[in-house]
Chains A and B, each alone.
Chain A
Amino acid sequence: MTDTDPLDRLTVLRALADEVSPPPAADVRRRGDRRRRRARAGMVAAAVVAVVAVAVPVTVLGTGDDSRPQPAGPTRTGPSATEGVLSEALLADPADLPELSPEVSAGAWTGTPLGTAPVLACQGAALRSLGAEEQLTHAYQAPGGSGQRYPLGVITVGVLQFDDEEAANTAYDTVQGWLRDCPATETGAETHEVQPLAPVGPGAVPAVERAARSLVQYSAPQVCPDGGCDAAWFDAQVVAQAGTRLVLLSHAEIAGPCPPGPGTSCEGDAALAPWLERVDATTAAVVGQAVSDLG
């Protein structure tokens, strides 16, 4: 922005701030307190739904796994009386995330705030538009080696808590649509390929009712800012539902044109297998922790 920029005229719009008189802060706080009380009342119902969801073997995943967590009792752990339901305790420990391929010199995963950035590359709208009562987002990065100023792996997580199961179901369907169609309106990702949506395999995500995953490949301009190389993000995006809670997850690694290694094959299932093993491990760690207070 310079002094001669004609668009500097837009700064006139800041002047409105001088004319605005905020209503009393106490009124806004009261409204916030009312919202909080409503949310808490909703959570009592949500906890019951969660218990039912775990107790009744709804088996989209069809795990048949005897180690599946037992139904939670009527006393929930997690939210205190004042801090809401979602907390950082629901975020996976970086040490539980799988190491990247030994072919790349990535450092250990470290957690970092995601802020308001999208969780999914394919996201078709802001997460807030899904109508969750609470949401928690987080990211993990595996940095590159010396001379690489971009991360070699990025995992992003969104945990969304809804007032009721109908709202969660609707949101799940919306996210599933994002995974299937990859509108990518929030990120502008230049998609090379989106594989068909598929249910997440048995055992990958314990304690959830249903989950789906899509694999998508898009440009990684971080690697070659001037273009001219075929680096790409290989991104597995997952949505999982446990009662009134949704977990959104993206596990992305830089590679291209072949999938992230190790391995020498470049096409077919065998080429994807090593990467998908890491995706499964991430899914189990992240989603498992995100619903750990539900059952």
Chain B
Amino acid sequence: MDTGAFDELYHAAYPRLVAQLHAMLGSRDEAEECVQEAFARGWQHRATLGRADHPEAWLRTTAYRFAVSRWRKVVRGRRSPDRAVGPTLTAPEVSADHVALVDALATLPEAQRRALVLHYVADLPVEAVARETGSPVGTVKARLSRGRAALLPLLQDTAGRSSS
């Protein structure tokens, strides 16, 4: 992948990936750091990225795994996340509805949350979610179903608060 193709992918996919990672991680700063790290690794391994069937999925997975890896390090080391990968970002506020949705998602188990975000926010079909998460289609369907059941009352609750 040459510079032009990489930059084009970067400008097109970066905002989408940040929005999706924000929904998965619950923090926009964290999302931006992880997406930047994913693109840096993408450029580092640009031959691999260029060969990927779905480069945006490759980047999303890399960003997500980087986030998970950082969580594990934090838990193991009982210390703050390593912020050295990039400058600390200060993001503008998002809407109250946005915050409520992200908060509702944050109550779900990690696997369910990721499946819901990939399906509803990244607009991936179930089969693509299965490919990206490395899970059988049946497992993804179960996660979506359980996540949906858990999320519905929360969404109705936040919708009620928004409209009142």
**A positions within 8 Å CB-CB of B:** 1, 6-23, 25, 28-29, 31-33, 35-36, 39, 83-84, 113, 115-118, 125-126, 128-129, 131, 134, 186-188, 221
Shortest CB-to-CB span from B7 to chain A, Å, is 4
Assembly CA distance A35 to B133 (angstroms)? 26
Instruction: Please name 22 pairs of A and B residues whose Cβ atoms are closer than 8 Å in the assembled complex, sorted by A.
Output: A10-B23, A11-B120, A13-B19, A16-B15, A18-B15, A20-B32, A21-B15, A22-B14, A28-B39, A28-B40, A29-B43, A31-B36, A31-B40, A32-B40, A32-B42, A115-B52, A115-B53, A116-B58, A117-B131, A126-B61, A129-B68, A188-B139
**A38: nearest chain-B partner, CB-CB:** B44
Q: Provide the residues of chain B in CB contact with A188, threshold 8 Å.
A: 135-136, 139
Select the residue from B120, B132, B135 with max chain A CB neighbours within 10 A. B120
Q: Provide the residues of chain A in CB contact with B41, threshold 8 Å.
A: 32, 35
Shortest CB-to-CB span from A249 to chain B, Å, is 17
Assembly CA distance A284 to B48 (angstroms)? 26
Q: Provide the residues of chain B in CB contact with A221, threshold 8 Å.
A: 136, 138
Of residues 90 to 144 in B, which have CB atoms within 8 Å of A's CB atoms? 92, 94, 97-98, 101-102, 105, 116-117, 119-121, 123, 131-136, 138-139
Q: What is the 8 Å Cβ interface bit string for chain B, positions 26-46, against chain A (1 contact, 0 not)? A: 001000100010011111111
Q: Verify if B74 is at the interface (C-beta below 8 Å from A).
A: no
- Choice from A9, A36, A83, A187 contacting B159 with Cβ under 8 Å: A9
A126, B68: Cβ atoms closer than 8 Å? yes
A19, B120: Cβ atoms closer than 8 Å? no
Contacts A7-B120, A11-B120, A28-B36 known; list 9 others, CB within 8 Å: A8-B120, A10-B101, A10-B121, A17-B19, A36-B44, A116-B58, A126-B68, A187-B135, A221-B138
**B3: nearest chain-A partner, CB-CB:** A29
**B positions within 8 Å CB-CB of A:** 3, 6-7, 10-11, 14-16, 18-20, 22-23, 28, 32, 36, 39-48, 52-53, 57-58, 61-62, 65-66, 68-69, 72, 85-86, 92, 94, 97-98, 101-102, 105, 116-117, 119-121, 123, 131-136, 138-139, 148, 151-152, 155-156, 159
Q: Provide the residues of chain B in CB contact with A83, threshold 8 Å.
A: 47
A16, B68: Cβ atoms closer than 8 Å? no
- Choice from A19, A29, A113, A129 contacting B72 with Cβ under 8 Å: A129
Q: Which 8 A-B pairs have the closest CB atoms?
A: A32-B43, A128-B65, A17-B15, A16-B19, A20-B15, A31-B40, A22-B14, A10-B120
Assembly CA distance A21 to B19 (angstroms)? 11
Interface of B (DSSP majority class): helix
A12, B15: Cβ atoms closer than 8 Å? no
**A114: nearest chain-B partner, CB-CB:** B134
A12, B155: Cβ atoms closer than 8 Å? no
**B72: nearest chain-A partner, CB-CB:** A129
Q: Provide the residues of chain B in CB contact with A15, threshold 8 Å.
A: 19, 98
Assembly CA distance A79 to B132 (angstroms)? 28
A116, B57: Cβ atoms closer than 8 Å? yes
A16, B22: Cβ atoms closer than 8 Å? yes
B6, A6: Cβ atoms closer than 8 Å? no
A20, B134: Cβ atoms closer than 8 Å? no
B120, A131: Cβ atoms closer than 8 Å? no
Assembly CA distance A29 to B46 (angstroms)? 10
Select the residue from B32, B48, B131 with max chain A CB neighbours within 10 A. B48
A12, B101: Cβ atoms closer than 8 Å? yes
Q: Provide the residues of chain A in CB contact with B14, threshold 8 Å.
A: 20, 22
